[in-house]
Amino acid sequence: MSSEQMVAVVNELYAECAVGNWDRVAELVTDDLEIVEAKGLPMEGTYRGKTALQELFVKVFGMLDISGVDLLDMCTGKDHVVALARMNFADPDVPAAELAEAFRFRDGKVCSIVPYYFDQAPVRAAADAKAA
């Protein structure tokens, strides 16, 4: 798979997740997709399978008031794309969360997603703000 093709798949994943087109999302990922959210985050844990992104989105949007995600840039390697992004929160007192999401590919589909947050504090603050 070329770098351009991998970037196109990641862009499509972001777009389809944003509108909740979970059938299309399932077509873009492997049956054994694995998403790992770091310990300490409100949504920490490992999510597996074709419905993992949908399950994670339902959980995250239940915990956080996210006003948008800005996709800043992408870089590619042999079998992966790293997307640099900014997660913006509805509460103006909560700063945006900066992150890099590593997407690994196998046989033309995403098989792994691992987000790396520069600072987890804004994510925890957004969860606290929504719970209040």
pLDDT value of position 132: 86
CATH of the domain spanning 3-131? 3.10.450.50
pLDDT value of position 108: 96
d(CA 41, CA 37): 7
pLDDT value of position 90: 95
Task: Output the pTM of the full model.
Answer: 0.94
- Kindly give the parts of the chain with pLDDT less than 50: none
List of residues 6+ apart from 67 with CB closer than 8 A: 88, 89, 90
